[in-house]
Structure 1
Amino acid sequence: MKTIWLAVATGLSMLCASGAKADDIACISTTFRLIGANDKVCISAFDDPKVPGVACHISQARTGGIKGTFGLAEDPSRFSIACRQIGPITTDISKLSDEEKVYSESTSLFFKHTHIFRTVDRKRNTLVYVAISDRVIEGSPYNAISTVPIMPWAGH
C-alpha cells in the first residue's frame, strides 16, 4: 500500500512540474537547531524557459531539525522573488499566453508547492512574475511579485 501511495504522489508531483529547472545558489542558516539541520533560507535561480534574457532568483525558508534533515518537514510558505533582464529579449510577447507557470518547487512531502507564473502587461511592455504557495493561508495564498520591463539591450 505504501508503494502505491508513493507512486501516486510521485506521479502527481511530476504533473505539476514545469519546464524551468533551478540552480541552487546558497543557503544561509537562520536558526540554530541542536539536533538536525539548522533552519535556513535558500536561494535558487532559474531562467524563463520561453523568454531567453530573463532570469529569476527566489529565496525560500527551509525548515531544519530532525524532520528537515530527512526531508519530512513542511517548509513555511515564505519566499521572495526578483526577476531581471540579463540579456536581449527577442521573444515576441504578443505570442506569450496571458498566464503561464514557469517554475514549481515542492515545499513539503505531500502536495505543497511554490509556483511561479508569468503574466504579460502588454500595455507597459512588461513581464510580471508572481510566486505563490498552493497552500491557502487564511483565505489567500502567500505571494510575491517581480516585474521585468523589456528594454533595448546594448549591442543588439
Structure 2
Amino acid sequence: MALMLFSASLSFAPSVANAEVVGKVGVDWIGNDIIVDAIPDPNVKGVTCHVTYFDRSVIDRVKNGKWFEDPSNNSIACRQTGPIEIDDIDLSKGGEEVFKTGMSLIWKKLVVNRIYDKDNDTLIYLVHSRQVTDGSAKMAISTIPLYGQNVSWKNGKPK
C-alpha cells in the first residue's frame, strides 16, 4: 500500500526540470496543501510564471475517493523578472505549451500555454487542465505587455 501511494505521489511532481516549488500552504488539518511553483519560460528569458495547484492528502484520498487525481483548481500569475529576450516561439493562435505536469496517475495534466497577441504586443499565459474526457472549463490567464518595453527578439519582432 505504501509503495502504491509513493508511486502515485511521483506522478504529481512537475515534469519540467525548471519548475521549482517556492511555496506550500496547508489548508486544513488532514494535510491538503496548495503548492506554488515558479516556472521560468524556457523561450522567453526574463518572464517567470507562478502557478498554484491543489495537492490532496492521503486522508482526503481515502475519505473522498479519486485516489489518483487532484482537483483542476489552478491559478497563474506571470511577471517580468528580468530583461526580456524572446527566442524562437510559436506565433500561431494556439501558441505553444510551456509547461506540463501530471495531476492524475495517467491522464489528467496541468498545462501552461503561451500565446503571442501580435495586435496588442502582449504575451498571454493560459493555465488549464487537460483530460481525456470531460475537459475542464477551469482556467486562468496572465499577460505580459511588451509595449514600451526594451524587448530583444532572436528572429526580429514579428510584423
TM over 0.5: yes
Cα distance change on mapping 1:139 and 1:26 into 2, 3 Å: closer
The Cα RMSD (Å) is: 2.7
* Displacement of 1:108: 1.2
Kindly state the Cα deviation for residue 132 of structure 1 after the two structures are TM-superposed: 0.8
Q: Using a 3 Å threshold, how does the CA distance of structure 1 residues 137 and 60 change in structure 2: closer, same or farther?
A: farther
Please state how far the C-alpha of 1:62 moved relative to its aligned partner.
Answer: 1.0
Q: What are the equivalent positions in structure 2 for 1:59-98 lying under 5 Å apart?
A: 59-66=52-59, 72-91=67-86, 96-97=89-90, 98=92
C-alpha deviations, 1:1-46, integer Å up to 9, x for none? xxxxxxxxxxxx9xxx97663001121111211xxxx011000001
TM-score, normalised relative to structure 2:
0.71
Gapped regions of structure 1 (runs ≥ 5): 1-12
**Number of equivalenced pairs:** 131
C-alpha separation between the residues in 2 aligned to 1:54 and 1:115? 17
Contact 2:32 2:60 in 1 (8 A): no
Greater percentage in helix: 1
> How far apart, in 2, do the equivalents of 1:26 and 1:142 lie?
22
Please say if 1:117 is aligned against 2:109: no
Q: CA separation in 2, counterparts of 1:85 and 1:23?
A: 17
Q: Which residue number corresponds to residue 21 of structure 2?
A: 24
One-letter amino acid of the structure 2 residue matched with residue 61 of structure 1: F
- Alignment correspondent of 1:41: 34
Q: Look up the match of 1:6.
A: none
Structure 1 residues 109, 67: closer, same or farther in 2, change over 3 A? farther
Structure 1-normalised TM-score? 0.73
Asked if 1 retains the 8 angstrom alpha-carbon contact of 2:76 and 2:140, the reply is yes
Identity %: 35
Unaligned 5+ residue runs, structure 2?
1-10, 151-159
